[in-house]
Structure 1
């Protein structure tokens, strides 16, 4: 376990359980160099406890890099709650998790993530102030989608020579809160949408409301398009799937889209421009971080413009250095975090 921490330069790893509620929680604090660690709370099933710990550590590192490149005074962290087969009282479980967060003295601030909701954050908030995206705070998903939309325009400009998205074929994998909101924004500017999701109802809604073309999930990656926008769970691009791609760029909302760092180099070799996920999808983090500090909506919206500016900077470095944008983004983040 310490080897895993050292490999990712993780500061702290906390494990806690509460047999009375079924809580089994992992909190990974990657860095507090720039401020308290902030990162969402996942509530998912895992094949084993090691998988949950690896997920928390990897995501916490991404959150540190994301906060640094977004210009936020926050560190990076992530929590993972292992979903039990049966839970008698979900509210009590999240209240127990709130007590765990409070015991950390403000070094970690939690928020919604996969499998959790604002109602869950409300339960956590009964025992700690170190929580955001409560019902009162609002859903960060629209701001994530706004940032991804701006990032797609910057990506189109860098790869295709224009940020006019009219007629652009965008394949969206995943129509959750962020994916669907992104589809709505793309539709509004005249983009052609190809969509897939495991929820057939969400796909049908996009077809009816947005004129999207439904594509089977197993076929989407190989479907010709201008931009592929992964907006589901991570890890969809590996050594095998990246060879199937028939797009000019990959720019989407999903976290940890690349199964390994080497996949970024393969994309580069194939001439496919990659928008580093933790840069393009940082709108939600920007919203929850600034909202937690009491910033106005106007201030938050203005800060979102930094996403496209940062991507443009990364693309320029990548072009000049003949490196993957993912490698460039990591180097820039590490310089901010570690001074090198």
Structure 2
């Protein structure tokens, strides 16, 4: 593997920490992109990677996205990310590994704040919290901010999808608007339920076909195979699974007016943002539309605000998207590039 500094996704990261604990079997990466605005906040995911290089690349991309996401959300937080390498698909992380990861977070002295991401849960955050106080996404107490970030991410995406439909389709509501949703976990499933309540037409897909079928039955939606969802003819395509799914080939196959979803790092390369723009498809930059979860756990960690404050801040996501889209329309630059320019300026790298 190339040196970390030479990797394409290394972007002046302040630190990239490779964690190895032979006793528990933990192998993890913690990437800190920026602490310009505050401690580097971003969740930790438990995932099986093809090789260790792919895990490092994922941490680099995700941590950079968190810097931009937190800056655009107006949070006094920098950007970081943790990934724990699963030895195989379907593996379970052990308590000993969670404890070791917590100790690794603690060793960074508060420069990185972890939280729940793919493959993690509130219960696992509680275990990590026995070894470090630099953790968020813990079970909520009373009306305070905190808990599972998924429903809050889903709320922000729902509001962003509505804003995108209004801008691209002239739709004042979602009744009859066809949305193809990739991934029906906590975020995609929450989005689907909100859109179904509005009368939207839904097509669902998930790598767990039974899960997609069960939700489709509940909501009166259609399903397609996971590898077909990005080719569905729809008004809106909403990626809510893993990233790097918008490639030269998949963009060419899109049959929609809007791409707006919660997956991180949807663009496989920066050039793919220009490809979507060239096709006249309205793109909602992922780290702008999916900020609801980090707003929730960020305010929890900072000890500021309650659920009402969280929801009030999430309600500002459509206005931030409009700011990006307005600038894109004015300059002709892709919305992905506009968002990056704004975010870089906010973290002092513009």
TM bucket (normalised to shorter chain) is over 0.9
Contact 2:20 2:27 in 1 (8 A): yes
Cα shift at 1:4 = 3.4
Cα shift at 1:324 = 0.9
SS of equivalent to 1:15: strand
User: 2:143 — aligned with what?
Assistant: none
CA distance in 2, matches of 1:63, 1:309: 19
SS of equivalent to 2:160: helix
SS of equivalent to 1:111: coil
Structure 2: any 5+ residue segments left out of the alignment?
A: 141-145
User: 2:204 — aligned with what?
Assistant: 195
Query: Given the alignment of the two structures, is residue 221 of structure 1 paired with residue 222 of structure 2, yes or no?
Result: no
Cα shift at 1:134 = 2.1
Cα shift at 1:139 = 0.7
Any idea what the Cα deviations from partners look like across 1:150-183, whole Å, max 9, x if unmatched?
Answer: 0011111211123411100000011111100000
User: 1:205 — aligned with what?
Assistant: 214
CA distance in 1, matches of 2:288, 2:81: 17
Any idea what the Cα deviations from partners look like across 1:93-122, whole Å, max 9, x if unmatched?
Answer: 100111111111100000111111111111
CA distance in 2, matches of 1:319, 1:56: 32
CA distance in 1, matches of 2:182, 2:92: 34
CA distance in 1, matches of 2:340, 2:174: 28
Contact 1:170 1:225 in 2 (8 A): yes
CA distance in 1, matches of 2:16, 2:42: 14
Any idea what the Cα deviations from partners look like across 1:269-292, whole Å, max 9, x if unmatched?
Answer: 111110001110110011110122
Question: How do residues 65-214 of structure 1 correspond to structure 2 at under 5 angstroms?
Answer: 65-85=68-88, 90-136=94-140, 137-214=146-223
Q: 2:36 aligns with which of 33, 36, 43?
A: 33
User: 2:294 — aligned with what?
Assistant: 285
Contact 2:158 2:194 in 1 (8 A): yes
Moved more, 34-43 or 87-96: 87-96
User: 1:333 — aligned with what?
Assistant: 343
Cα shift at 1:2 = 2.1
Flag as ranges the 4+ runs of structure 1 deviating above 4 A. 85-89
CA distance in 2, matches of 1:14, 1:272: 38
Q: 2:16 aligns with which of 9, 13, 26?
A: 13
CA distance in 1, matches of 2:290, 2:311: 14
User: 1:257 — aligned with what?
Assistant: 266
CA distance in 1, matches of 2:8, 2:193: 40
State the superposition RMSD in angstroms.
Answer: 1.6
CA distance in 2, matches of 1:339, 1:44: 31
Contact 2:43 2:81 in 1 (8 A): yes
SS of equivalent to 1:8: coil
Contact 2:205 2:229 in 1 (8 A): yes
Contact 2:9 2:57 in 1 (8 A): no
Query: Aligned in 2, Cα 1:88/1:297: closer, same or farther, shift over 3 Å?
Result: closer
Q: When the two structures are superposed, what TM-score results if normalisation uses the length of structure 2?
A: 0.94
Contact 2:179 2:201 in 1 (8 A): yes
Contact 1:158 1:315 in 2 (8 A): no
Contact 1:5 1:57 in 2 (8 A): no
Question: How do residues 236-275 of structure 1 correspond to structure 2 at under 5 angstroms?
Answer: 236-275=245-284
Cα shift at 1:138 = 1.4
User: 1:2 — aligned with what?
Assistant: 5
Moved more, 58-67 or 287-296: 287-296
Cα shift at 1:7 = 4.1
Moved more, 59-68 or 156-165: 156-165
SS of equivalent to 1:26: strand
Q: 1:312 aligns with which of 295, 303, 322?
A: 322
CA distance in 1, matches of 2:293, 2:92: 31
Cα shift at 1:220 = 1.6
